[in-house]
């Protein structure tokens, strides 16, 4: 097949443009709430739960290019989180934890420990993916139209179809390859943030960087395949996410671990092992955090009840002293403060 690259890896003169640099858009967004932060990426459908205690701080730097749709970003979160993510329809996502991350990241139920090696993460929008992130965590992301990516891979002579037909994957990378990809993505974002991408020389530089990025991604993924450990992790993740979904519903009671085991048809030990493997913590601690996050979302809604205890009771918190203390420990403020800061609605002055 024809290649986009000539001798030495340089773009051929007749190579099709990878994007339209003149249509590049850059956005920088800060957030002080985990739920607000989950909505910061353009065109994504996400839900985050905060798991560690303290005030939340998040930042997203995002570069978006049309024709084809291509999104590059760096996201930072100050607290530990559990994330359920789905990029825009028809796309495929690639994730690369940045070089500062040394604590284990859980990706779709499988621990990715930077101290034991690096990995390029990927998932189709149709499947979505889940992350359990450590504190002070940063990750680069690349999202591309899947059909267009396949066309470019074919032009490069790389067989990506088997790879893109599978659910979420983690592809091992060498430390040098990981650093190279991080540097390419950081340079792309820095160029866009400075405004130089709108200059003629900046557009040419942006085009070259995008070509380099695509070539690297296609090369890294061409021979990748799922491992037995990854398939087992996906099964464990599905059960853990089912448990989360049960806990986040306003049922008017606290879902106990024993009740959860009955509903999922698992022994207590098996459930414990699944949570430790997928999230690195116990079912009780995680599900309590999920319920507290659900309360916070409700308290921040314009239509929230006027009394904190009415919201707390929906998720099985009936001792207001304990609830308020647990809430403050996790989010750094009392639930009454969150309620006072909610967005106004037509029903409130």
CATH number, domain with residue 307: 1.10.10.60
Residue 307: give the domain boundaries: 229-340
Mean pLDDT of the chain: 82
Whose CA is closest to 168, among 117, 230, 221, 106?
230
Structural contact between residues 64 and 80, judged by C-beta atoms closer than 8 angstroms: no
Structural contact between residues 244 and 281, judged by C-beta atoms closer than 8 angstroms: no
**Cβ atoms within 10 Å of 267's Cβ, excluding its own:** 10
Which of 208, 224, 240 lies at the terminal end of a domain, its last residue?
224
- Which of 121-125, 239-243, 299-303 is predicted with the least confidence, judged by mean pLDDT? 239-243
Domain tally for the chain?
A: 2
Query: Is 3 within the bounds of a domain?
Result: no
Alpha helix stretches (DSSP H) within the chain: 34-38, 146-155, 161-164, 175-194, 200-221, 228-248, 257-264, 268-278, 283-300, 308-314, 320-331, 335-340
Which of 198, 224, 250 lies at the terminal end of a domain, its last residue?
224
Same domain flag for 87 and 172 = yes
In this prediction, residue 156 carries a pLDDT of 66
Sheet of 70-77: strands edge to edge?
A: 25-31, 58-65, 70-77, 137-145, 91-97, 118-124, 169-173
pLDDT over threshold 80, residue 20: no
Same domain flag for 23 and 156 = yes
Q: How far apart are CA 243 and CA 230, in angstroms?
A: 20
Same domain flag for 136 and 257 = no
Residue 52: phi and psi, rounded to 5, are: -105, 160
pLDDT over threshold 50, residue 268: yes
Query: Is 265 within the bounds of a domain?
Result: yes
Which of 204, 224, 244 lies at the terminal end of a domain, its last residue?
224
Structural contact between residues 9 and 216, judged by C-beta atoms closer than 8 angstroms: no
Whose CA is closest to 72, among 115, 30, 50, 42?
42
Question: What's the pLDDT tens digit per position in 133-171?
Answer: 999 999 999 999 988 888 877 776 666 656 566 778 888
pLDDT over threshold 60, residue 295: yes
| DSSP reduced 3-state for 105 | strand
Backbone torsion region of residue 67, taken as left when φ is above 0, otherwise alpha when ψ lies between -120 and 50, otherwise beta: left
Mean pLDDT of 284-303: 93
Same domain flag for 207 and 311 = no
In this prediction, residue 15 carries a pLDDT of 40
pLDDT over threshold 80, residue 281: yes
Same domain flag for 138 and 63 = yes
Structural contact between residues 286 and 279, judged by C-beta atoms closer than 8 angstroms: yes
Chain mean position to CA 162: 23
Pairing relation of β-strands 118-124 and 169-173?
Answer: antiparallel
Same domain flag for 210 and 265 = no
% the chain with pLDDT above 90: 42
Structural contact between residues 261 and 271, judged by C-beta atoms closer than 8 angstroms: yes
Residue 148: phi and psi, rounded to 5, are: -65, -40
Same domain flag for 53 and 189 = yes
SS3 content of the chain, % helix, strand, coil (to 5): 45, 20, 35
Burial 277-308 (b: 16+ CB within 10 A, else e): bbbbbebeebbbbbbbbbbbbbbbeeebeeeb
Look up residue 28 and give its two tokens: 């920088």
Q: How far apart are CA 68 and CA 90, in angstroms?
A: 12
Same domain flag for 165 and 308 = no
Query: Is 171 within the bounds of a domain?
Result: yes
Alpha carbon of 78 to those of 120, 124, 133: distances in Å?
A: 22, 26, 10
In this prediction, residue 160 carries a pLDDT of 66
Same domain flag for 220 and 238 = no
The radius of gyration computed from the CA coordinates of the chain, to the nearest angstrom, equals: 22
Same domain flag for 219 and 252 = no
In this prediction, residue 346 carries a pLDDT of 43
pLDDT over threshold 70, residue 129: yes
| DSSP reduced 3-state for 242 | helix
Mean pLDDT of 186-194: 88
- Predicted TM-score of the model (pTM): 0.79
Same domain flag for 160 and 62 = yes
């Amino acid at each position: 097949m024809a290649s986009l690259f000539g001798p030495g890896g340089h773009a051929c003169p007749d190579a099709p443009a990878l994007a339209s640099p003149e249509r590049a858009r850059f956005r920088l967004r800060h957030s002080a709430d985990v739920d607000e932060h989950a909505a910061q990426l353009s065109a994504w459908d996400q839900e985050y739960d905060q798991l560690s205690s303290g005030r939340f701080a998040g930042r997203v730097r995002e570069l978006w290019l049309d024709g084809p749709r291509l999104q590059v970003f760096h996201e930072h979160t100050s607290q530990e989180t559990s994330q359920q993510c789905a990029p825009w329809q028809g796309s495929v996502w690639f994730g690369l934890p940045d070089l500062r991350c040394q604590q284990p990241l859980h990706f779709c139920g499988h621990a990715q420990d930077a101290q034991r090696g690096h990995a390029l993460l990927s998932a189709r929008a149709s499947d979505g993916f889940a992350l359990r992130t450590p504190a002070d965590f940063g990750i680069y992301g690349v999202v591309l139209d899947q059909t267009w990516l396949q066309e470019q891979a074919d032009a490069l002579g790389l067989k990506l179809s088997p790879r893109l037909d599978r659910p979420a994957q983690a592809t091992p990378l060498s430390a040098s390859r990981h650093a190279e990809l991080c540097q390419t993505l950081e340079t792309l974002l820095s160029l866009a943030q400075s405004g130089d991408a709108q200059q003629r020389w900046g557009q040419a530089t942006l085009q070259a960087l995008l070509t380099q990025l695509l070539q690297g991604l296609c090369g890294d993924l061409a021979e990748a395949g799922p491992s037995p450990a990854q398939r087992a992790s996906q099964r464990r993740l599905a059960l853990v996410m089912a448990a989360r979904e049960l806990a986040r519903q306003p049922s008017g009671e606290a879902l106990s671990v024993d009740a959860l085991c009955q509903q999922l048809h698992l022994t207590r030990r098996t459930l414990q092992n699944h949570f430790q493997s997928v999230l690195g913590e116990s079912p009780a601690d995680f599900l309590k955090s999920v319920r507290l996050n659900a309360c916070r979302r409700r308290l921040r809604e314009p239509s929230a009840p006027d009394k904190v205890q009415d919201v707390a009771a929906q998720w099985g918190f009936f001792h207001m002293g304990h609830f308020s203390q647990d809430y403050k420990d996790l989010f750094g403020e009392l639930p009454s403060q969150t309620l006072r800061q909610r967005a106004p609605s037509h029903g409130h002055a």
